[in-house]
Structure 1
Amino acid sequence: MDSNTLTALSPLDGRYAARLGPLADLFSEAGLIRHRVLVELRWFRHLADCDDFEPLAKLSADDAAYIDRLAETFDDEDAAAIKAIERTTNHDVKAVEYWIKDRFAERPALAERSEFVHFACTSEDINNLAYGLMLRDALVNVLDPVLADLDHRLAALAIDHADLAMLSRTHGQSASPTTLGKELANVVFRLRRQRRGLARVDITGKINGAVGNFNAHIAACPDLDWPALAQRFVEDLGLVWNPYTTQIEPHDMIAEAAHALVRINTVLLDFARDTWAYISLGYYAQKTVEGEIGSSTMPHKVNPIDFENGEGNLGLANALLDHLATKLPVSRWQRDLTDSTVQRSIGSALGYCLLAWRSIERGLDRIEPDPSRIGEDIDRAWEVLAEAIQTVMRVHGIEQPYEKLKALTRGQRIDGEQVRAFIESLALPDDERDRLLALRPADYTGNAAAMARAIEQYT
């Protein structure tokens, strides 16, 4: 084990670091610096390619390729060099500008144009776009594939167990039966709805100067259509242009993404808790792993640790996401710096999401339904047929159906013989009586099986 993982302050960079590599590549300090460099270089290239921006001549093919290589080959040593410059500047974005100018100094044609690096930009022009790119890549390339895998697995389980009748529990008490597949389909439906909400979040960006009005741009080149040029640049990065900002992009899109993730996490937290409870009831059997220990003193224990780990980390994720969502869109007047330090924890929030989701994936690998145990409970729960019987009685005009079933069943367990004797006593048409007499608790699942199998139709 890398000694750094033993001494890291955060478990995301310590105990769990191996599970979170793709997010660390994006949201580490090196990742942020790399994206800042990318934005600065792309802005320089964009200005050089703009026919209307006459002060900066077009680049030669070799110089353009050199700039592209600076972005493509940027590594941790380059990031360390920028951090060294920052120790003097005490300004992280200015350090990026100076590093690029140092690289441009190696080519005469670029050296004479180096003052167009960071042209008319405020630091937030670079930062908001860097964070936008990081967030977009994290959501699309790192997080959503894990959600898609969870979705696929849960949907497959819903269909596989569509017919497995299971006792429902409302308020923790026996209730009208369902099927295991239908309960899993409920989770899939909720999860897909929230994933669509996350996918609809526009990752926005701006590059409009110190207070959002292109002041310096227009002072330098008053005849240029700066909003149109800025829009093209932001959209070329793959982001959505925000034309109305102060010094900072207002971070509403981060709040929207954070709240969408909170809702996804809440669905999965609900699922993790329910699964934990079903494991406790024995509805799911847990697979054992050779050499694994469940308790330091009780040898028999097999604990649902992955669902517990998932639940705990979902709580941490949502706490951070909630703060991001409520704090980042609030800034004093045209800008304060409170957002800068908070944005650095976006990666942590997403890290706890990813950690939790993968824990739930591992939990699913280690459980399988136990039909015999599930069947034991539902076969004993004849009282759940009270709902069906009293509803049929209403259809056929029998007085006080609810009250009669309440007297028979409320707060007490009854068996099949008692239920059948009650049905025999009812003044029902023969075919209706025979239909009720043939009904068993496991048959009383409504359209649960059909709904479980139709999950693709409804989503």
Structure 2
Amino acid sequence: MISRSIFDNISPLDHRYSMRSEEFEEYSRYLSERAKIRYQSEVELALVKALAKNGICSEEVVKEVKQAISELSPEEVYAEEKKTRHNIRALVNCIQKRVSEDAKPYIHFTTTSFDIVDTANSLRYKETAEELIVPTLKKLEKVLMEIALREKDTVQVGRTHGQHAVPVTFGFAVAEYVSRFGNKIHAVEESAKNLRGKISGAVGAYNASHLFFDKPEEFEADVLAELGLKASTHSTQIVEPEYITDFVHSLISAFGVLASFSDDMRHLQRSEIGEVGEHFGKDQVGSSTMPHKRNPINYENVKSMWKAFMPHMVTVYQDQLSEHQRDLTNSASSRFIPEIIVGLLSSVNRLIRVCEKLVVDHENIKRNFEMNKEMIVAEPLYILLASYGHPDAHEAVRKLTLESQQSGETLRGLIQKSEELKPYWEKLTDKQMELLINPEKYIGIASQKAEKVVEYWSEKLDIELD
């Protein structure tokens, strides 16, 4: 039994980003080496169950194998692998040591190692998605929904290219991420449901199982049904790699949405903007030399984690290539998929904690809006002039904005002085005039859109709001 301090570990995922014991235990249940061996054992058990169902072995064999795998330890399997230099043969040997002579022949019967490996991976990633990943993503989605609804009427200056644009609301801005993240949660759910297994032998042609079954695909279906999986439409020694590729892509894409959200939030936390802030603990330090600083460390951490794990997707794409019926070029690289999952979950859990305590500075939001609110009316003004027949409304308003910046007078004041534009100004309705006089009301349907987005995704993802 290997025992070491977490601070002797090499991966930051173990010694830094899994310090919360409850999170580490959740991750470990599905993604540890112990879990991997447990899932591989479950496939071996499903195999003998299907053999018994088809009259090849007895139910007593099933009982023996079930008892044997309940006693297995990863330490034992790894010790055996030192001798066999083959992980699945080591697992099989360890199971066979614990069963009767009558049961031994049926363990791993007609299968190849990657019948077990690929099927076990599909099973554990499917269950990880259903029981851990998706519920955690939905928890963050709910927090974002609550912010969007709470701030749906908080007028905020819109920004494009880093410049002030026309107004939105802060809730509308957050609803963007409710929608984007909602799409990704749905993609994770669908791609996880579609993960496949195989029990088709060394090259996928059912060579061995066809010795005993006239319809070996039906036997394969029986084995996989025990695990709640379907068979890959076609397999070689491995399952078609696109199923797992699509699943991991959905995770990385979801991670990208969180990186984008975090980037937005950290920029809104800049000193000169100051519209949002992270909760800051009473003993927390922002800088080793500048005691006044409060850095957006959590949002920066999420972006940094995304930068670390996003490039792994390239390796997953490379694992789509396997020579002929299979080579070993994915044997090491595919083992790092659990790290991608843990990296994502670590960041999601961090954002849940941060966003639950998100501080919105309404005074600064208002101050930033008012900084350029007179220029905001340029868009509605030009559109209204055009609607009343002005032949070159955009240019007319552009010139007025330059004059306003130089003279300090408002656009509304300048247009009323303009003899050329006076006829158009006099045609404005009360509603149109109101938008020009009160630019903070020029928010379109931002508030309603935030509500609609939240309603749509809460229903689609079955998220119940308080």
TM-score normalised per structure 1: 0.91
Asked if 1:102 is matched to 2:91, the reply is: no
Give the structure 1 partner of residue 42 of structure 2.
38
Residues 9-408 of structure 1: matches in 2 within 5 Å?
Answer: 9-18=10-19, 19-51=23-55, 53=56, 56=57, 58-60=58-60, 64-71=62-69, 73-74=70-71, 78-105=73-100, 111-201=101-191, 202-219=194-211, 221=212, 223-280=213-270, 281-324=273-316, 326-381=317-372, 382-408=374-400
Give the structure 1 partner of residue 462 of structure 2.
none
State the superposition RMSD in angstroms. 2.1
| Superimposed CA distance per residue, residues 393-451 of structure 1 (whole angstroms, 9 cap, x where no aligned partner) | 11111232111211122597589952221342431364626545433221111110110
Task: State the one-letter code of the partner of 2:15.
Answer: G
Say whether the 8 Å CA contact 2:28–2:35 is kept in structure 1: yes
Give, in angstroms, the shift of residue 157 of structure 1: 0.8
Change (3 A) 1:74 1:145: farther
Say whether the 8 Å CA contact 2:175–2:454 is kept in structure 1: no
Question: What is the identity percentage for the equivalent residue pairs of Structure 1 and Structure 2?
Answer: 26
Change (3 A) 1:96 1:145: same
Task: State the one-letter code of the partner of 2:120.
Answer: A
- Structure 2 SS opposite 1:178: strand
Determine the C-alpha separation between the residues in 1 that align with 2:71 and 2:104.
Answer: 19
Say whether the 8 Å CA contact 2:46–2:226 is kept in structure 1: no
Change (3 A) 1:287 1:79: closer
- Structure 1 SS opposite 2:159: strand
- Structure 1 SS opposite 2:48: helix
Determine the C-alpha separation between the residues in 2 that align with 1:12 and 1:74.
Answer: 29
Say whether the 8 Å CA contact 1:304–1:363 is kept in structure 2: no
Say whether the 8 Å CA contact 1:294–1:301 is kept in structure 2: yes
Which residue among 435, 439, 442 is the counterpart of 1:441? 439
Which range moved further: 256-265 or 24-33?
24-33
Give the structure 1 partner of residue 448 of structure 2.
450
Determine the C-alpha separation between the residues in 2 that align with 1:372 and 1:115.
Answer: 75
Give, in angstroms, the shift of residue 285 of structure 1: 3.2
Determine the C-alpha separation between the residues in 2 that align with 1:259 and 1:146.
Answer: 18
Change (3 A) 1:172 1:415: farther
Say whether the 8 Å CA contact 1:167–1:378 is kept in structure 2: yes
Aligned length: 441
Determine the C-alpha separation between the residues in 1 that align with 2:34 and 2:402.
Answer: 64
Which range moved further: 167-176 or 223-232?
223-232
Task: State the one-letter code of the partner of 2:264.
Answer: D
Give the structure 1 partner of residue 463 of structure 2.
none
Determine the C-alpha separation between the residues in 2 that align with 1:412 and 1:91.
Answer: 77
Determine the C-alpha separation between the residues in 1 that align with 2:407 and 2:190.
Answer: 52
Determine the C-alpha separation between the residues in 2 that align with 1:67 and 1:358.
Answer: 38
- Structure 1 SS opposite 2:376: helix
| Superimposed CA distance per residue, residues 348-381 of structure 1 (whole angstroms, 9 cap, x where no aligned partner) | 1111111122222232134221111100111221
Change (3 A) 1:339 1:412: farther
- Structure 1 SS opposite 2:424: coil
Task: State the one-letter code of the partner of 2:281.
Answer: V
Determine the C-alpha separation between the residues in 1 that align with 2:296 and 2:403.
Answer: 32
